[in-house]
Amino acid sequence: MSTAVNYTEKKLKVIGTSPVRPDGVPKVTGLAQYGADFSLPGMLWGKILRSPHAHARIRSIDTSKALALPGVKAVITSADLPEQKFEYVGPERIAVNYWHMTRNILAREKVLYEGHPVAAVAATSKAIAEEALLLIEVDYEVLPHVIDVDQAMQPDAPLLFEDMITRGIEPAPTKASNISKRVEYKMGDIDAGFAAADEIVEASFRTSPVHQGYIEPQSCLARFDADGQAELWASNQGHFIVRTFTVKLLGMKTGDLRVHPAELGGAFGGKTVVYIEPVALALSRKTGHPVKIMLSREEVFKATGPTSGASMTIRIGVTKDGKIVAADGLFKYQAGAFPGSPVMNGCMCGFAPYDIANVRTIGYDVVCNRPKATAYRAPGSPISAFAVESTMDMAALKIGMDPLQFRLKNIAKTGTPLVYGAKHAHEGFAETIEALMRHPGYTKPLGKNQGRGAASGYWFNGGGESSATVHVNEDGTVVVATGSPDIGGSRASMALMAAEALGIDYDRVRPIVADTNSVGYTQGTGGSRVTYATGIAVVNACNKVIDELRARAALIWKINADDVIWEDGCARPAGKKAGEFEPLPLKAIAAKRSATGGPISASASLNAGGQAPGFATQFCDVEVDPETGHVKILRYVAAQDVGRAIHKGYVEGQIHGGVVQGIGWALNEEYIYDNEGRLSNAGFLDYRIPVASDLPMIETILVEVPNPNHPFGVKGVAEANIVPPMAAVANAINNAIGRRLTELPMSPPKVLAALDGGGGG
């Protein structure tokens, strides 16, 4: 169910419609090619040996028995990969360290989590490869481990890295710890702000690591030829990312590796890194055969990144009339085995929707004996929002103010400074709150054991490097090639934007995702950047094609190109020549291409800035069973500023998906470890994501406040929607039972404990 709130006036031909998706038929008929569907003659099967320990030193690895097994063609360890320099590369918020990355691919000095890769085998069958793994002998010195973030920060905690000195502290500490980095942002005078408050609310919160839960495990096929040229077919959100990381980890030239994008069976940020691609290619290089690796579900859970768990404390000061005068946040995020949690994002996004004069956020990036944390849909922001938006609700209740009215009173507007130094440049947040306040469900009476909760969320959204090429065929159909893997409908949105720009029907556009040798460099599909950044590249390429079509029409008419305009898919004479010739449609010009200069094609590349952030506000109604502690979601309404919806159905789907994942994060999902640091629920039977019977109908409200920096007003829509749900559900539970739950997931045992007066965690 959907309601559109449209703040735009321009009428468009195809933008905003919901045509059939270009990848729909191949997917429903089973013809779509995912990572596991590729094969080559002479292909070998790769399997990875993984650590049974959470923390252990590797004394030695003996692969001789495995190599002697008939059918085994190669065994590799970290010794087969070149060592990498220890340095952080790229902007601090998303920096990578190849020294860490190569150790995550194949462990070197130590294993740092259960499931950590230790060695890999290539054999003529999966069965032989699995048997060979059992023959590899690893001598481990088992070490004490630490799982919890607060425990990992203690001075006497077991150290994952004996030489890790915390970055971000001056002067630098002299003693090693598990704290990789400290970050701090602040503006105004915190002490003065709290002194001016009539009420101060403070609370501590905890979240558990949760997995992205994609249905398709990582799979890839690698071929390394005798001339040093190589190819990869990979399930990944960015085949250019795969190329960049793989050539670096294997010591190759960038031009020697061609990466083909596969269809994706879900990702949500979890496939923005590499796990198996360098291993498969190293095995192929060693054997001279193509090598295929497919992870099992257990391997996905144990060794590919969940998002961080966190421990947080929030303090908010307000006046009696509802103005927030001070806010302080402490955020401790688990990075997993290697540094790189999204704690900076959490610090930057937590209070970002609000105009608060005095703000401070402090964050810690903490390693512990878990798989390395990876991006998950607005990485870092949902975690901090759970804490901030729960505390916001507590503050509103304390002064007797409606939670949405409280948020509306404190919204950030254009020009409002952000704690990390920038200023808001876009509107859209207020409109999401107002849309919910007008919704009839927001004031509908509730029954016994029922409660209503609201929350808001913020995400930066991305721009970045994108490329596109547009080809006009002789029959007037158009091919749009980009380098952006399609996860959330980008092929449809590219086709819609191309059709709108060219003035032709949607079904005359064929969008494709090209390999790394066939289109210009394009950053990965993440950060809600593709429809914005790659969309601009597509429109720019279309504009170049239009200029060429005008020139071809001028040649046919024997007039100056300046006297030709492009309108409604046709070249038309203008100026002094207006009306002298009948309009020439694209199809007619394309049919004469060989006589007017040859193929009609254009490319465009850019490093896009000017993206607008995502704002979302949501409310839900819940019913709590006092006997079991079970929480049932009765109603969910999600409003989001989407800029302008390019494919309306896909935009609604993105919001539905974020809400569903947020509900699972709120109520069910968590990593459970035993006393030995082993994951106890590495499968969908025990790691419980929501199913249809767990969910209500989710109503979306599409607020459209266009971004003037995009030809069609696009703002990224894929991530802001997962930011509010955990706090919205927590606030609704509090309203239902009068107990504040502060630890995720809010599972039945925790709800029962709260009802019994033992607190909610």
Tally of CB atoms within 10 A around 141: 11
- Is 753 in a helix, a strand, or coil? helix
Residues 6+ apart with CB under 8 A from 321: none
Would residue 596 be called left, alpha or beta, if left means φ above 0 and alpha means ψ between -120 and 50 degrees?
A: alpha
Which positions are catalytic? 719
Task: Give CA–CA dist 343/331, Å, rounded.
Answer: 7
Q: What is the DSSP letter of 269?
A: T
Q: What is the dihedral of CA 605, 606, 612, 616, to 10 degrees?
A: 40
Task: Give CA–CA dist 587/86, Å, rounded.
Answer: 56
Query: Residue holding tokens 């266009």?
Result: 706
Kindly report whether the peptide bond that precedes residue 82 is cis, defined as omega within 30 degrees of 0: no
- Cβ proximity of 377 and 661 under 8 Å: yes
- Cβ proximity of 571 and 582 under 8 Å: no
Kindly report whether the peptide bond that precedes residue 745 is cis, defined as omega within 30 degrees of 0: yes
Task: Give CA–CA dist 71/97, Å, rounded.
Answer: 36
Q: Which tokens in the block code for residue 726?
A: 């955990």
Task: Give CA–CA dist 638/507, Å, rounded.
Answer: 31
Residue type, 546: I
- Is 346 in a helix, a strand, or coil? helix
Task: Give CA–CA dist 212/361, Å, rounded.
Answer: 26
Q: Which helix (H) or strand (E) holds 450?
A: strand 450-459
Burial 629-648 (b: 16+ CB within 10 A, else e): bebebbbbbbbbbbbbbbbb
Residues 6+ apart with CB under 8 A from 640: 432, 614, 615, 616, 617, 655, 700, 701, 702, 703, 717, 720, 721
For 670, counting Cβ atoms within 10 Å of its Cβ (0-12 exposed, 13-18 middle, 19+ buried), the class is buried
- Cβ proximity of 296 and 217 under 8 Å: yes
For 171, counting Cβ atoms within 10 Å of its Cβ (0-12 exposed, 13-18 middle, 19+ buried), the class is exposed
Task: Give CA–CA dist 344/331, Å, rounded.
Answer: 9
- Cβ proximity of 102 and 83 under 8 Å: yes
Would residue 527 be called left, alpha or beta, if left means φ above 0 and alpha means ψ between -120 and 50 degrees?
A: left
Q: What is the DSSP letter of 622?
A: E
Task: Give CA–CA dist 170/387, Å, rounded.
Answer: 28
Q: What is the DSSP letter of 89?
A: B
SS (HEC) of 679-744: ECCCCCCCCCCCCHHHCCCEEEEEEECCCCCCCCCCCCCCCHHHCCHHHHHHHHHHHHHCCCCCEC
